[in-house]
Amino acid sequence: MTLGIALLLIFILYLIDKHNRWRQLVKVIIWLVVIGVVGLGEFFGWVKYENHKTTKANEAYQIKMQPFWEKLSPS
């Protein structure tokens, strides 16, 4: 399996070199990396925002329920 992948990679690189498509390949790779970085940034930002929203909701719930819990606690 590894030999087949290596041969395929060599063939693709040969075709790129034969037709002088290095600049196009580099541009495509750079765009893919940029899109990947932006996508990962958006994903981690969304996760952080969801955690922040959940924390704020929990704090608001605790503040709202504090008088009720004080009535129930045996003192």
Q: How many domains does the chain have?
A: 1
Q: Which domain holds residue 38?
A: 2-72
pLDDT value of position 69: 67
pLDDT value of position 74: 66
pLDDT per residue over 8-66, tens digit each?
A: 999 998 988 888 888 888 999 999 999 999 999 999 999 999 999 999 999 999 888 88
pLDDT value of position 20: 86
3-state secondary structure the chain: CHHHHHHHHHHHHHHHHHCCCHHHHHHHHHHHHHHHHHHHHHHHHHHHHHHHHHHHHHHHHHHHHHHHHHHHCCC
pLDDT value of position 3: 94
* pTM exceeds 0.75: no
pLDDT value of position 16: 86
